[in-house]
């Protein structure tokens, strides 16, 4: 008769006895590389493909989007006309001449932005924090620079392309999916910071041509810094879409150094603005 | 920033607690396997004449084990590159061996010396939108208890 027994089977045949840590970091490095390649190639693709669309075409696309702006009071309209006139004045010293349309929104958070079709939106809460026309011109110049660089349409295209690519790759809501999309956000932020930094540079040049100096430009970032919540202030630069305000102010200081701007005075904002705000 | 801190905390907790529990579980599995080595397991239905002199009874063991956060992220990344999913392999190995041990425990309590026709079923729990959270392993077979000679 056959004899049977239950022998002891060596461990580690059906599973790996490693902790999985090395394995994990190997895959993590691979995932970072993959995401950086995806974001980089999509960024280049959208930069080349979308800037081939003419600005007139972009304006037509933007017309399809309804800008639902609230009914404006007489005072708000006056501010908007003033902002538009200042933008047009700055535009004269811009390297390209894509026209911009400024919209003034009395409410909203402390913010201003440029969007496709050459539209610039300035919120009242940011305007009320600015102390001179020079700081406002730095703001408008910065947004105009985004439009001259075609940043809104490039970022839009890049966002859509990267989003589609990554949803194909990850396709789930697990921790790994979250990890991959965070990597892509962080690499997108690097692109965004570069765009912001270039917009600051061009804005400073426009300011210098218009006023002969760039005094007062740093006040914009002092105001923005004052409006930033304490929690967000600790965010490191690599996790932000914009360069941190301290660095932006330092850059303006460096730009000023070569110029003789000691006796240049700032231009105040028109008298009617504080009464409307 | 807050999200990253939460993520890293979950990952660390998953890794350290998960691997501690896994090591502890394997230790206990190996020890209990040694203790229950005298109950023989067969995939065959009718091993030799043994069946003729025994009473049979269905015995079963059931286990549900959950994956830790570190394993789930690791397995999710593995989905991108392909290859052995080590994170799941050890999970299933534990579940299978634990299920067999529980089945043996049942058989031992009724005085059986062998289990024949052993089958193992595996299924994942919460298959929904999110990734596999835990596995169930069910082991069952016919326990043979030697007939008392009167």
Exposure of B98 by Cβ count < 10 A (0-12 exposed, 13-18 middle, 19+ buried)? Answer: buried
Q: Which of A160-174, B74-88, B125-139 has the highest mean pLDDT?
A: B74-88
- Beta strands (DSSP E) in B83-129 are 114-125
Contact residues, chain A, for B69 at CB < 8 Å: 175
A-chain CB neighbours of B4 within 8 Å are 182, 239
Range in A164-168, A230-234, A241-245, B91-95 with the lowest mean pLDDT:
A230-234
Whether residue A27 and residue B81 make contact (CB cut-off 8 A), yes or no, is yes
ipTM over 0.85: no
What's the confidence (pLDDT) of residue B128? 59
CA distance A115 to A62: 9
Give strand pairing partners of A97: none
Confidence check: pLDDT of A11 > 60 = yes
pTM above the 0.90 mark?
A: no
Cβ-based contacts of B86 with chain A (< 8 Å): 15-16, 18, 20, 23
Cα torsion at A19, B66, B126, B120 (round to 10°)? 90
Give dist(CA A97, CA A144) in Å, integer. 10
> Which one has a higher pLDDT value, B69 or A67?
B69
Sign of CA dihedral A190, A192, A198, A203: negative
A186 or B127, which is more confident: A186
In percent, how much of chain A has pLDDT > 70?
Answer: 92
The string of pLDDT tens digits covering residues A185-234 is 888 888 889 999 999 999 999 988 888 888 888 888 888 888 877 667 77
Distance CA B23, CA A124 (A): 61
Helical segments of chain A, H only: 21-50, 55-63, 74-91, 124-127, 133-148, 151-169, 175-211, 218-227, 230-233, 245-257, 272-276
- Please give the residue of chain B at the shortest CA–CA distance from A24: B74
Distance CA B127, CA A5 (A): 39
- Reported as a single tens digit per residue, the pLDDT across A235-274 is 788 888 888 888 888 888 888 887 766 667 788 888 777 7
Q: What is the mean pLDDT of residues A152-159?
A: 88
- Sequence-separated (6 or more) residues with CB below 8 Å from residue A61: A53, A116, A117
Rg (CA), chain A: 25
Higher-confidence residue: A230 or A33?
A: A33
Contact predicate A244/A194, CB 8 Å: no
Nearest CA in chain A to B132: A174
Which residues of chain B have a CB within 8 Å of the CB of A239? 1, 4
Question: Is there a contact between A234 and B1 if contact means CB atoms under 8 Å apart?
Answer: yes
Tell me, what's the pLDDT at A230? 67
Question: Residue B29 above 90 pLDDT?
Answer: yes
As a whole number, the mean pLDDT across chain B is 87
Residue B90 has its nearest CB partner, among A16, A172, A182, at A16
CA atoms within 13 A of residue A216's CA, in its CB half-sphere = 23
Q: Which strands sit side by side in the sheet containing A101-105, from one edge to the other?
A: A101-105, A119-123, A112-115
Question: CB distance from A22 to chain B under 8 Å?
Answer: no
Q: Give SS3 for A105.
A: strand
């Amino acid at each position: 008769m056959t004899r049977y027994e239950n022998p002891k089977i060596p461990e580690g045949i059906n599973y790996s006895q490693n902790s999985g840590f090395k394995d994990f970091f190997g895959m993590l490095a691979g995932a970072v590389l993959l995401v950086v390649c995806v974001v980089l190639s999509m960024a280049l693709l959208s930069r080349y493909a979308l800037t081939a669309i003419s600005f007139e075409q972009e304006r037509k696309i933007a017309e399809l989007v309804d800008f639902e702006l609230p009914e404006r009071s007489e005072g708000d309209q006056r501010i908007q006309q003033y902002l538009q006139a200042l933008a047009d004045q700055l535009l004269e010293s811009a390297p390209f001449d894509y026209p911009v349309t400024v919209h003034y929104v009395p409410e909203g958070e402390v913010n201003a932005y440029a969007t496709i079709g050459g539209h610039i939106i300035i919120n009242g809460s940011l305007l009320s924090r600015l102390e001179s026309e020079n700081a406002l011109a730095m703001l408008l110049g910065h947004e105009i620079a985004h439009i001259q660089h075609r940043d809104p349409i490039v970022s839009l295209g890049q966002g859509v392309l990267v989003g589609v690519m990554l949803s194909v790759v990850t396709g789930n809501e697990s921790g790994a999916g979250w990890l991959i999309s965070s990597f892509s956000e962080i690499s997108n932020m690097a692109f965004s910071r570069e765009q912001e930094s270039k917009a600051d540079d061009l804005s400073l040049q426009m300011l210098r041509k218009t006023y002969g100096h760039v005094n007062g430009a740093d006040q914009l970032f002092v105001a923005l810094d004052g409006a930033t919540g304490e929690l967000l202030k600790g965010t490191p630069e690599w996790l932000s879409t914009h360069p941190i305000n301290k660095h932006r102010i330092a850059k303006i200081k460096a730009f000023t150094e070569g110029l003789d701007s000691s006796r240049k005075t700032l231009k105040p904002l028109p008298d009617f603005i504080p009464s409307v705000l | 920033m807050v999200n990253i801190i939460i993520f890293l905390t979950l990952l660390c907790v998953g890794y350290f607690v998960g691997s501690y529990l896994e090591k502890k579980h394997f230790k206990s599995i190996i020890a209990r396997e040694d203790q229950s080595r005298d109950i023989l397991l067969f995939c065959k239905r009718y091993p030799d004449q043994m069946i003729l002199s025994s009473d049979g009874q269905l015995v079963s063991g059931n286990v549900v084990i959950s994956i830790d956060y570190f394993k789930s992220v690791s397995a999710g990344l593995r989905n991108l590159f392909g290859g052995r999913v080590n994170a799941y392999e050890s999970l299933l190995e534990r579940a299978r061996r634990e299920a067999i041990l529980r089945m043996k425990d049942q058989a031992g309590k009724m005085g059986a010396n062998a289990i024949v026709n052993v089958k193992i079923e595996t299924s994942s729990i919460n298959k929904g939108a999110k990734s596999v959270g835990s596995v169930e392993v069910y082991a069952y077979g016919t326990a043979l208890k030697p007939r008392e000679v009167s």
